[in-house]
């Protein structure tokens, strides 16, 4: 069981099993099928923050000081608003919105859904030790598995955090995956990326 994972080796084996399952026949639902699944509730959305202004530098974590981070660009602000509009247009119930403590993730959640709760386990792995990053990934999986109920859990984070879970090479800014929690793992229903412009 996932709750008994004790080492990086255990987590590697878990991801290897996911990789085998997904590589056997990887096909995602269409956009409308993904929206329909979200409308039924009980799903988890793994979203990368929207577009950023890279001219501000490489960025680093400075809680409470967004001026020292890479922040959303004007197109990223509009992209986040469009994501929220799309959820409302499809009548998708949004419950808790968990985000990385980086301002670009918090702002994406606030602009799209009206609220956001930063959590440490959604930090990018390069900002913490390898052991901490492994524990953070394990915490993300456990959050997914324990989600139940009529609303959908939103988790807004960074490229690597999502790519590691869904076995994608990279995740564009603003793209999100929808997963269905099961008893000890989860199914990937599909992914959506709204146009940036």
| Per-residue pLDDT tens over the stretch 137-146 | 999 999 999 9
Q: What is the pLDDT of residue 162?
A: 94
Are 116 and 97 a contacting pair, CB within 8 Å? yes
Span of 116-120, 163-167, 172-176 with lowest mean pLDDT: 163-167
Q: What is the pLDDT of residue 130?
A: 92
Which domains can be identified in the chain, with CATH numbers?
A: 2-192 (3.40.50.1240)
What percent of the chain has a predicted confidence (pLDDT) above 90?
63
Neighbours of 22 (CB within 10 A): 14
Q: What is the pLDDT of residue 197?
A: 47
Are 113 and 154 a contacting pair, CB within 8 Å? yes
Are 22 and 167 a contacting pair, CB within 8 Å? yes
Overall pTM surpassing 0.75 (yes/no) = yes
Please name the residue that has the structure tokens 């564009």. 172
> What integer is the mean pLDDT of 16-21?
50
Over the stretch 62-91, which tens digit does the pLDDT of each residue have? 666 788 888 999 999 999 999 999 999 999
Are 148 and 42 a contacting pair, CB within 8 Å? yes
């Amino acid at each position: 069981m996932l709750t008994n994972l004790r080492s990086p080796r255990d987590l590697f084996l878990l991801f290897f099993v996911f990789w085998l399952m997904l590589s056997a026949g990887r096909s995602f639902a269409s956009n409308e099928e993904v929206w329909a699944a979200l409308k039924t509730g009980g799903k988890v959305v793994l979203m990368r923050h929207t577009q950023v202004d890279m001219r501000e530098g490489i960025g680093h974590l400075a809680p409470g000081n967004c001026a020292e981070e890479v922040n959303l660009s004007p197109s990223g602000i509009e992209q986040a608003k469009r994501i929220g509009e799309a959820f409302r247009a499809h009548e998708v119930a949004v419950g808790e919105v968990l985000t990385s403590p980086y301002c670009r993730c918090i702002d994406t959640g606030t602009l799209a859904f009206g609220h956001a709760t930063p959590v440490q386990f959604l930090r990018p792995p390069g900002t913490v030790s390898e052991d901490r990053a492994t524990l953070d990934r394990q915490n993300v999986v456990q959050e997914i598995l324990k989600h139940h109920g009529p609303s959908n859990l939103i988790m807004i984070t960074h490229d690597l955090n999502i790519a590691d879970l869904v076995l994608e090479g990279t995740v564009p800014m603003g793209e999100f995956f929808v997963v269905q929690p099961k008893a000890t793992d989860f199914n990937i229903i599909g992914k959506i990326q709204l146009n940036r412009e």
